[in-house]
Amino acid sequence: MPKQENGQREDPVILNDLSESFEEEVRAFLSDEEKLHLFDDLTKVNPVTTRTVLKCLQARYRVNLFYTNAGCSLVALNPFQPFSCLYSPELMREYHVALCPQDLKPHIFAVAEQTYRNVQKQMDPVNQSIIVSGESGAGKTWTSRCLMKFYASVAASVISPEGNETVERIEKRVLDSNPVMEAFGNACTLRNNNSSRFGKYIQLQLDRFHHLTGASIQTFLLEKTRVAYQAPNERNFHIFYQITKGATAEERLEWNLPEGAEYHWLPNAERNLDEDCFEVTRGAMFHLGIGHATQSNIFKVLSALLHLGNVQFSNPVDESQPCELEDKTKESVKTTADLLQIPVEELLESLRIRKITAGKQQQMFKKPCSRAECETRRDCLAKVIYARLFEWLVLVINENIYTDPSVWSSFIGLLDVYGFEAFPENNLEQLCINYANEKLQQHFVAHYLKAQQEEYAAEGLQWSFINYQDNQNCLDLIEGNPLSIFSLLNEECRLNRPSNSDLFQTRIEKALSSNQCLSRDKFSKKPNFIISHYAGKVCYQLAAMVEKNKDAVPPELVHVLQNSKDPLLQKLFPVTEKNQNNTKTQNRPAVVTVVSKFKSSLEHLMEILSRTTPHYIRCIKPNADCMAMTFRTEEVLSQLQACGIVEAITISAAGFPVRIPFQSFTERYELLRKSWGSSKKRVWGKSSSHPAEKKGETAVMDDDKAPRAAVLEILQEAVRGQTPAQETGNGAEIPSVYCGKTKVFMASSVLELLEGRRAEVLNEKAFCIQCCWRRFKEKKTAKEKRSATLIQAAVRSWLAKSRFQRIRRAAGAIQRHWRRWKAKAAALAAAELDEGEGKEFPAPGASLASPPCSLDTRWPLQAVVQSWPLGLALAAAPVRATGPRRALELLSCLRGLREGSREHLGCGITSIRALPQGSVKFHCRRSPLHFANVSPHTGAFSITGFNQILLDRKELLPT
């Protein structure tokens, strides 16, 4: 493409940037318009020119493809209409689980997933930043909102239900911070219905498991002047319209907001926007820990500001008297004082009377203010209340979403700042906004366009420098030392004198005339100066710029706010400030101007960005009227030229997007070298050829180049079997890998190859570890089983042996007792038989000589009746009676048996049995002994009931 000097703008005419050598290639490329929308990466466009890039974006916009890769950045075109399918949770999940998100269609979710995976890889720098830039209305706020939803959904913890609930609460609070910040910090402007009137850097904090643990919000330069002044066809902050449209009847009565009332600081209230939803803001505030009582207090203060805007002053008849109030505004003053809980007299005095301290004795004088001064004080009161309220809200939000630094280890930052602005009338606010955009553009230029090319040259790459638009001259004009617009503004504020715009314009032109980016509109009667920004020229009016930079708040206003009974105002204006003002009247503190504070906070932000890996999303506004699906070539072209998209595409197509120092490369991919070098030594020789050595360089193996040799050895295996060169946008073949002096440069495809091979090796090692672990576990389990079996066998053996011994001892005892009892029974039987010899028994049927037994008849002593069974004893009882008398005689016999008395039985021989165990119970069961009631010889003996087991003497006696 044609060359241009750094800092100079290209001609806006498209064809002027084409040389004759490119015209044929451009026509050939643009001839097939049906395939232009297929170029999802503009580095593949051949040739890379402003016209070809513009045509590809226009073709993709027509087919609803709004995201396109452009080298190191992503181009996002605003469709100005909702596409729910583009930001659904299912699509978030698809990009999150994809093996390679870059293979999917270009999307902001692909950028978000890449940053998240970079954090997981822990490659320095670990912390990531996404810089969302573009003009006002290009879609930066929506993009940041979708990115936060993506991170809140994919960075959730699923370790435990309790932990999951905690993370869900954090995600909810982080997401709820968006509607609150937008309600209090966004407004409808000429170029955007939801324009951010402040800058914010959201830091999403991740723990070592890469789970979202908290967040923090850093804000920059709230446009507080919008509270008291709104340009034509613009609106105030969204929150004022929300409370007037969404409040209930009871709340309107409490906040004194009658329906249908008109307010000077609430223009264009008849317009209905999606951002006017009051319930969403209230619900988000409640989830952030702001209760209903505090919310009501906040909205009461905001209502007071609306009534304060209706206060109008008129010139007094006598200049020595304070300004009079218009009749229709007296009620507004009373309402304002009641809502702020301030006495009406003190409020009017702070607005209309200025206190002056003079002399060594610090005497106090009161001087009435002019009408203009009264109105300025009224506006200042509203601005300082709203600014303090916004700062307090940010502090409360951070307290509810921030976590201790010991909990989180890395972060992903989202930067959403106001876009470049150029209105018919521009003042200090637009100067600071455009200065912030200049700093971000310089960060892109310094980090990518400039530093990358200088690094190529320092590392020894044969590189043809590509010219780009450098905005360093513009930054020197705005913030440079010792002389710049900011320094002159601050110097003017330090002078204790009224500011003169004409004199200040003369000072600027005299001090900074050498800078080519400065000029002025000679046809304008108002003092002004023009700055040539990277996005175009902007004319700034000097009227009231010095006063805005001072941002002075009269002490009377602070004093009256400190005396308020309202609990919220007491938090916003603590009494300690009152004491400080009283003690420092003699020594005036150093003036801290608006540009000084803004420059300091912006430098702190740039320092944070410099320590992170940046990712750029360039939001493009297809048309200035915010019309859906309308693509205006001239407006898109100016934005592409301003942000340097074409230069970035050219450098990305011709360069190496990945640059890693040798040490970091070796530390990360050393495992590849060790895993492949164990089986066979692979050493680079002089004859070895590598894709990086195609231009005549050879790898010299010496001690000084040992790290480089290690890198080459790793790359040799990584690119084995791969194509050493890749096709680039300009059709030339360049090496996909280049080893410089201290770094290795490579294409994204080689990095993906290395990461894939590293993942394979890690999987192999993990599988090997798993195998060893499983083998160890199996061996340990088998050993435990064998040990358990031995223990069980020993226990069973011991138990069986013990049981056998117990049974054996029991059997021996039983045998001994049995033998003893058998011998005793045999002896007793022999003795009884011996005693019965020689006695004559009566013949069967003969009557007994003795009379029948009476009731007190006793058992014979010779018979051991107690050892008999009960049935046998009863059968052999000496009872002759029958009927009931027989039962009585049996009981008498048993009683005598218990007493142990023995008497001779005059007839028959009784049987011998073992002694019964325990007491003898009377029962009617049949005796278990066979033939217990049967007499064996009924004819020979008169006594019945003898047991048939009576044997002969020879059989009973042991032989």
Q: How far is Cα 759 from Cα 739, in angstroms, rounded to an integer?
A: 23
pLDDT reported for residue 51: 86
Q: Bigger pLDDT: 675 or 595? A: 595
**919 falls in which pLDDT band (50, 70, 90)?**
low
HEC profile for 829-890? HHHHHHHCCCCCCCCCCCCCCCCCCCCCCCCCCCCCHHHCCHHHHHHCCCCCCCCHHHHHHH
**674 falls in which pLDDT band (50, 70, 90)?**
low
Nearest to 433 by CA among 133, 218, 129, 199: 199
Torsion angles phi and psi, residue 215, rounded to 5: -160, 165
**949 falls in which pLDDT band (50, 70, 90)?**
very low
DSSP state letters, 144-177: HHHHHHHHHHHS---S-HHHHHHHHHHHHHHHHH
CA 655 distance to own-chain centroid: 36
- Give whole-number Cα distances, 131 to 377, 416, 429, 543, 672, in Å: 38, 7, 21, 33, 35
Count of beta carbons in the 10 Å neighbourhood of residue 163: 14
Find which of 216-225, 489-498, 869-878 is predicted with most confidence, using mean pLDDT: 216-225
Q: Length of the chain in residues, anyone? A: 959
Q: What is the pLDDT of residues 861-870, one digit of tens each?
A: 334 555 556 6
Count of beta carbons in the 10 Å neighbourhood of residue 602: 20
> 413, 193 in Cβ contact below 8 A?
no
Torsion angles phi and psi, residue 18, rounded to 5: -110, 125
Segment among 633-642, 701-710, 914-923 with least mean pLDDT:
914-923
Whether residue 767 is predicted with pLDDT greater than 90 in this model: the reply is yes
Q: Bigger pLDDT: 60 or 918? A: 60
pTM of the complete model: 0.69
Amino acid at 253: L
Whether residue 339 is predicted with pLDDT greater than 80 in this model: the reply is yes
> 649, 454 in Cβ contact below 8 A?
no
- The DSSP secondary-structure symbol of 100 reads -
Q: Tokens 């199996």 label which residue? A: 778
> 892, 917 in Cβ contact below 8 A?
no
Name beta bridge partners: 187.
195, 237
pLDDT reported for residue 20: 56
pLDDT reported for residue 317: 78
Would the CA dihedral through 366, 372, 373, 377 be positive or negative? positive
Whether residue 138 is predicted with pLDDT greater than 80 in this model: the reply is yes
Provide mean pLDDT across the span 571-577.
81
DSSP state letters, 39-57: --BGGG-SS--HHHHHHHH
Burial of 89 (0-12, 13-18, 19+ CB in 10 A): exposed
Q: How far is Cα 786 from Cα 780, in angstroms, rounded to an integer?
A: 10
CA 267 distance to own-chain centroid: 40
**508 falls in which pLDDT band (50, 70, 90)?**
very high
CA 27 distance to own-chain centroid: 50
Nearest to 629 by CA among 171, 60, 247: 60
Provide mean pLDDT across the span 811-826.
88
Nearest to 129 by CA among 151, 105, 154: 151
Nearest to 569 by CA among 386, 756, 367: 386
Name beta bridge partners: 518.
531
Q: Tokens 């008395």 label which residue? A: 901
Count of beta carbons in the 10 Å neighbourhood of residue 681: 7
> 220, 605 in Cβ contact below 8 A?
yes
Whether residue 803 is predicted with pLDDT greater than 80 in this model: the reply is yes
Provide mean pLDDT across the span 516-522.
91
Q: Tokens 């011709």 label which residue? A: 654
pLDDT reported for residue 705: 65
- Give whole-number Cα distances, 308 to 256, 331, 694, in Å: 12, 10, 76
Could you tell me which residues come within 8 angstroms of residue 571 by beta carbon, excluding any fewer than 6 positions away? 392
Provide mean pLDDT across the span 126-134.
91
pLDDT reported for residue 920: 52
Q: What is the pLDDT of residues 821-865, one digit of tens each?
A: 888 888 887 877 766 554 454 444 444 444 444 444 444 433 455
> 857, 877 in Cβ contact below 8 A?
no
Q: What is the pLDDT of residues 242-273, one digit of tens each?
A: 999 999 999 999 999 998 889 999 998 888 88
pLDDT reported for residue 872: 62
Helix (H/G/I), strand (E/B), else coil: 790? helix
Nearest to 660 by CA among 124, 130, 121: 124
**227 falls in which pLDDT band (50, 70, 90)?**
very high
Q: What percent of the chain clears pLDDT 70, i.e. is strictly above it?
A: 76
Q: How far is Cα 58 from Cα 206, in angstroms, rounded to an integer?
A: 38
Read off the tokens for 458. 């320092």
Q: What is the pLDDT of residues 177-226, one digit of tens each?
A: 889 999 999 999 888 888 888 889 999 999 888 888 888 999 988 889 99
Q: How far is Cα 526 from Cα 441, in angstroms, rounded to an integer?
A: 30
Q: How far is Cα 194 from Cα 183, in angstroms, rounded to an integer?
A: 9
Torsion angles phi and psi, residue 232, rounded to 5: -55, 140
Whether residue 395 is predicted with pLDDT greater than 90 in this model: the reply is yes
Mean per-residue pLDDT of the chain? 79
**664 falls in which pLDDT band (50, 70, 90)?**
confident
The span from the first CA to the last CA of the chain, in angstroms, equals 140
765: left (phi over 0), alpha (psi -120 to 50) or beta: alpha
Read off the tokens for 559. 């004093």
Nearest to 267 by CA among 246, 299, 244: 244
Q: What is the CA radius of gyration of the chain?
A: 53
Whether residue 9 is predicted with pLDDT greater than 60 in this model: the reply is no
Q: What percent of the chain clears pLDDT 90, i.e. is strictly above it?
A: 34
pLDDT reported for residue 841: 45
pLDDT reported for residue 588: 53
User: What is the layout of strands, in order, in the sheet containing 212-220?
Assistant: 67-70, 73-77, 613-620, 128-134, 410-416, 199-206, 212-220
Q: What's the CA angle centered on 640, arms 637 and 643, to 5 degrees?
A: 145
Q: Bigger pLDDT: 889 or 609? A: 609
Whether residue 952 is predicted with pLDDT greater than 80 in this model: the reply is no
Q: Bigger pLDDT: 379 or 922? A: 379
Q: What is the pLDDT of residues 397-452, one digit of tens each?
A: 999 888 888 888 999 999 988 878 888 889 998 999 899 988 888 888 777 777 67
**710 falls in which pLDDT band (50, 70, 90)?**
confident
Angle, in degrees to the nearest 10, between helices 748-835 and 706-718: 80
Residue 202: which H helix or E strand, with range? strand 199-206
Whether residue 947 is predicted with pLDDT greater than 80 in this model: the reply is no
Could you tell me which residues come within 8 angstroms of residue 42 by beta carbon, excluding any fewer than 6 positions away? 48, 53, 56, 68, 69, 70, 71, 75, 645, 649
Q: How far is Cα 493 from Cα 691, in angstroms, rounded to an integer?
A: 62
pLDDT reported for residue 902: 45
> 880, 942 in Cβ contact below 8 A?
no
Nearest to 578 by CA among 555, 610, 550: 555
**684 falls in which pLDDT band (50, 70, 90)?**
very low
HEC profile for 541-610? ECCCHHHHHHCCCCHHHHHHHHCCCCHHHHHHCCCHHHHHHHHCCCCCCCCCCHHHHHHHHHHHHHHHHH
